[in-house]
Amino acid sequence: MGNEVCDLSQKHCTPCEEGGAPLGLEEAQRLLSKLSGWELGEKGISKKYDFKNYYQTIAFVNAIAWIAHAEGHHPDLEVSYRSCLVRYTTHAVRGLSENDFICAARVDALFGKEA
């Protein structure tokens, strides 16, 4: 799994056309298998990250904001004192795209193997 995650995190997002086709369930599950701890749900893929304090949580959120800006792909975030739930979906295709998995891998890369 290690090299595959690295491969995803080294890719960059590509623009999705409005109304384009989302990934099928089989392809989404294949890409999900390359990530650690992410779950596939009705609203995309998500993962909860826990922290020691609010400062670490907000530093994480700011790092995600930088990734989102750089890739042009933005997650939904649920932020609390010591945790952050990150959820990716591609609104343009009304489902999942490879961009969601690329960004998820990039977020995991913030923590290396500890993600």
What digits encode the pLDDT tens for the residues 37-90? Answer: 999 998 899 999 999 999 999 999 999 999 999 999 999 999 999 999 999 999
- Kindly calculate the radius of gyration of the chain based on its CA atoms and give it in whole angstroms: 13
| Dist. CA 46–CA 75, nearest whole Å | 9
pLDDT score of 55: 96
Average pLDDT for residues 77-104, to the nearest whole number?
Answer: 95
Q: 2-14+25-114 falls under which CATH superfamily?
A: Transcriptional coactivator/pterin dehydratase (3.30.1360.20)
Which strand (E) or helix (H) includes residue 22? none
70: which residues sit within 8 A by CB, 6+ positions away?
A: none
Residue extents of the structural domains in the chain? 2-14+25-114
| Dist. CA 17–CA 1, nearest whole Å | 30
Tokens of residue 26, six digits: 């089989």
**What's the pTM value of the predicted model, to 2 decimals?**
0.85
- The answer to whether the CB of 9 falls within 8 A of the CB of 105 is yes
Q: At what angle do helices 98-109 and 25-32 cross, to 10 degrees?
A: 10
